[in-house]
Amino acid sequence: MIQVLFLQQPDGELLGFHMTGHSGLAQEGSDILCAAVSSAAYLVANAITDVVQVKAELSVAQGDMSLQIPERAVFLCRTLLQGLRLHLTGLQEQYPDNIRINFTEV
């Protein structure tokens, strides 16, 4: 199962995410859900770090990705992180046994 943990402030503003695991829909390398989640995560991470040029904490390993922005960058990254949350929530609705989303305050 893919586990997604969104990091948020007490007011609900998103500060980043941590994703880990594999969906188990198909073999690694041909799993459409893993590909969709990975692609969305990389798009948001690259947009934040390379397009918006926010100095975010980013960690990527096999089956694991974390990104956290500084609090001062919330306004700049709000739309990207909310879009990721919306996209992943839609995937969770389609594949409830394969992806789980949670939130934690930081």
Under DSSP, the state recorded for 30 is S
User: CB 37: neighbour CB atoms within 10 A?
Assistant: 26
The single residue listed with the structure tokens 């996209």 is 87
The single residue listed with the structure tokens 């969709």 is 36
Rounded to 5°, angle at Cα 85 from 81 and 89:
170
Give the range of the structural domain holding residue 23, as residue numbers without chain letter: 2-105
pTM of the prediction?
A: 0.94
Tokens of 9: 């402030």
Instruction: For residue range 5-55, list pLDDT tens digits in order.
Output: 999 999 999 999 999 999 999 888 889 999 999 999 999 999 999 999 999
Number of domains in the chain: 1
Contacting residues for 22 by C-beta, under 8 A, at least 6 apart: 1, 2, 28, 31, 34, 63
Instruction: For residue range 43-58, list pLDDT tens digits in order.
Output: 999 999 999 999 999 9
Amino acid (1-letter code) at residue 6: F
User: What CATH code is carried by the domain that includes residue 73?
Assistant: 3.30.70.1490
Q: Evaluate whether 52 touches 69 at the Cβ level (below 8 Å).
A: no
| Backbone dihedral region for residue 31 (phi beyond 0: left; psi -120 to 50: alpha; all else: beta) | beta
Instruction: For residue range 68-94, list pLDDT tens digits in order.
Output: 999 999 999 999 999 999 999 999 999
